Structure 1
């Protein structure tokens, strides 16, 4: 049985060109992908229109509302749940994602793509709450029991034929 959890986040994002902006985001966890977490940055249209069309119609993308207008997923990063957990206590990460405590109550998540880097600052409390739910869904050490390798392989084969 699939179990999921989503945690809205208030983030500040600092980009490679030193721009800083508040960007709504959400952390997502799925029991069928037990080792991973997803950090989705949401595209907000202040007019409440998810796709920016003047007709106000949705464009078919999956979205959620946070009270500030309509939102649609714009960018999603997938990385290890353990990376997020360890990063609450000590600097950690390899490759494109690094996580470390930032001051007494925030968490820094560094995301790299090619020559671009974004620093994401978010409250530790929200991340801790998210992880409590994620570990309640799939406790540490039990992840392999939640993997459906036959389904994952079937999806790979289907994508390879499309």
Structure 2
């Protein structure tokens, strides 16, 4: 097995008194060992299209214990057994919270595929560079 997908439920933090529960999927591919993806369905997005955020596995792990991230994605513990994920984009900020144990379970699955500190053994740096250059040209 070279990848892991893990379905989770997140609560979208909004101004309204009711916090809607939406499905999301966490995905990890051992061929891109530093990154995780979190995908939200079209009905939960402003533009009515599926939204996918890519961020560091290490960021997610660090954010379970303490505030982490300074860019587009930020993660921090929230109360008892919850974790907040903030996604900063051009249209604004989406804030969700998720049961921390769901994230821990997902991270355990990713660590079984690629142990922390061994990502460089699985990364295809030459292919990543070629893909990046293809996007530029």
TM-score where L is the length of structure 2: 0.86
Distance 1:152 1:29 in 2: 16
Aligned residue for 1:25? 24
Measured in 2, the distance between the counterparts of 1:11 and 1:135 equals: 22
Once the two structures are superposed, what CA deviation does each residue of 1:84-136 show, in whole Å capped at 9, x if it has no partner?
A: 10111111111111111111111100111135111111111110000001011
For the pair 1:155 / 2:131, whether they are aligned, the reply is yes
Q: Which structure is higher in helix share?
A: 2
Q: Let me know the Cα RMSD of the aligned residues.
A: 2.2
1:41 and 2:40 equivalent? yes
Instruction: Give the strand-richer structure, 1 or 2.
Output: 1
Query: How many correspondences in the alignment?
Result: 132
What CA deviation, in whole Å up to 9, does each residue of 1:5-27 have, x standing for no partner?
01101011125xx2542211010
Query: What's the counterpart of residue 107 of structure 1?
Result: 83
User: For the residues of structure 1 that align with 2:66 and 2:125, how far apart are their CA atoms?
Assistant: 32
Q: Which residue of 2 aligns with 1:124?
A: 100
- Bigger-Rg structure (1/2): 1
Unaligned runs of at least 5 residues, structure 1:
45-72
Structure 2: runs of 5 or more not aligned: 44-48
Distance in 2, matches of 1:82 and 1:92, equals 10
